Amino acid sequence: MLSQLKLAVRPCVYMCRCVHTKEKGKPLMLSPRTNKGMAFTLEERQVLGLHGLLPPKIETQDIQAMRFKNNLEKIQDPLAKYIYVMGMQERNEKLFYRVLLDNIEQLMPIVYTPTVGLACSQYGHIFRRPKGVFISIMDQGHVGSILDNWPEPNVEAVVVTDGERILGLGDLGVYGMGIPVGKLCLYTTCAGIDPHKCLPVCIDVGTDNEMLLKDPFYMGLYQKRDRSQRYDELIDEFMEAIVNKYGRNTLIQFEDFGNHNAFRFLRKYKDNYCTFNDDIQGTASVALAGLFSAQRVINKPITEHRYLFLGAGEAALGIADLIVMAMKESGMPEEEAQKKIWMFDKYGLLCQGRSEAIDSHQEAYVHPVPGQLAKTFLEAVNILRPTAIIGVAGAGRLFTKEVISAMGSLNERPIIFALSNPTAKAECTAEEAYTLTEGRCLFASGSPFGKVTLPDGRVFQPGQGNNAYIFPGVALAVIVAGVRNISNQIFLEAAKALAEQVTTDELAQGRLYPPLSNIRQVSICTAVKVAEFLYSKGMAFKYPEPKDKNEYFLSKIWKTDYESFLPDVYDWPLSATKLPNL
């Protein structure tokens, strides 16, 4: 009798009870947050005013994902693929993240490096719908009110750029917004962070890119970069506005700022805000993880290597500082560790007495001239005899045939990291590195390269030193544990956690990192390891401490499954429902 009563009131309940959304009808299909396409059930269509607005077939998300993938495979041009994929994010975000997670190895190069760089360079030409918040120098004094216009009230993670140094492409001004959008896509895809709690921001203070200033489709201020005190005041106002609105624990990730500003903002804000710079610290962590993996292959600790960097900017210095921290943890004095690291920039080796200016943050790696002055990178290799070369200059193919051959002659197992992005800026290809060293090198790159088959039949799967292995997992740990300040030690722990997840079989294949197809599992495992460190050091502020952190983190993951917009009336108590007279 009870079940019959519930069945009797079911239509009335559907029409009078509130559903999960206030929207009804076509607006549900126009919002990427609520749109399910043809996966709306018949009952949802009837109750929500959608009946007749969709073809009669009820589809599963599996079928939708299959259609999406089939259409994508027909597109050959990378930029066209980017436009198609990001267009889905604008229409149906659950389906977008489902497909991205299921096909991460194929789609990571589209939504992230290298294609995102191309998309940024063409941002004004392919623009369809704005994503994120744009704050210009003209908005000084009103940043808080601009943030009030963002519709999501509970932001936990912010990625911000001023567009001055986008990948290896240089100053792209507001065209750089594609980077925060892409990074936050990976927050959700790799670590399951709720996309509605993520905010991409572009700070527009002008651009020094003459081509953009002449581009009729450019979307930012038509002025040279403002490098006055107003710029610093705007960034100060932005930082304070974020924590005033969203809380002191809000994670703020700096991305693709120019070298000078990147370092000084990190020093300025790291002790008072929950912030990090991915170009400095994230790159450092993933590179160090690759060195930890190489250490397992050749059984030679990082303290016994000599490192030569091509490039002396924020990426190089971030990696060097973290290597020094790891060496110190192994018992080596800091000064001795720094002596094992050399840097070569566009003016040559960082050496004492050279005429070109040396920044204060480079001084730890300025050494006496090593016998004779190296005028080229090849000369530096032959003079210093490094066991590892790390390219982060973004200057193209400077790991020449002669450089790679020299590394192979000097070392039984040379370490060659060509980390610059996008692919056109990589110091060498995987094929060049493996071929010229007869398969003996330990190789990693910033951009993806395919398998390499040597004439003798050996096959190598090069590892991609992708920051996506680090920053999503670190962000998840920081958000869930409630961290207020992010130290370099956190990135050292993340590097250890990542390296530990590379299997012996994967090392034998030439991999120094886990397969990207496992990125969700890798990110959660990294987050768990980092969280264990945070709680052990008293750096976490969210208590009680979870006993089973893996289970706890999994419970926090944002799901890509469609949710029903209808309440389950069979679970309601009859007292909550007005029954008809019988």
Catalytic residue set: 112, 183
Q: Please, what's the b/e burial string for 6-41 (b: 16 or more CB within 10 A of its CB; e: otherwise)?
A: beebeeebbeeeebeeebeeeebbeebebbbbebbb
Chain-centroid distance, C-alpha 57 = 38
CB proximity list for 200: less than 8 A, separation 6 or greater: 131, 132, 133, 158, 159, 160, 177, 180, 181, 183, 184
Instruction: Determine how many CB atoms are found less than 10 A away from the CB of residue 456.
Output: 7
Chain-centroid distance, C-alpha 247 = 23
Looking at residue 180, its amino acid is P
Long-range contacts of residues 80-87, Cβ cutoff 8 Å, at least 24 apart: 81/110, 81/115, 82/110, 82/111, 82/115, 82/116, 82/118, 82/119, 82/126, 83/119, 83/126, 83/128, 85/110, 85/111, 86/111, 86/119, 86/181, 87/128
Chain-centroid distance, C-alpha 114 = 13
Nearest Cα to 311, choosing from 333, 337, 285, 279? Answer: 279
Residue 390 dihedral angles phi and psi, to the nearest 5°: -130, 115
| Sign for the pseudo-dihedral over CA of 235, 493, 294, 327 | positive
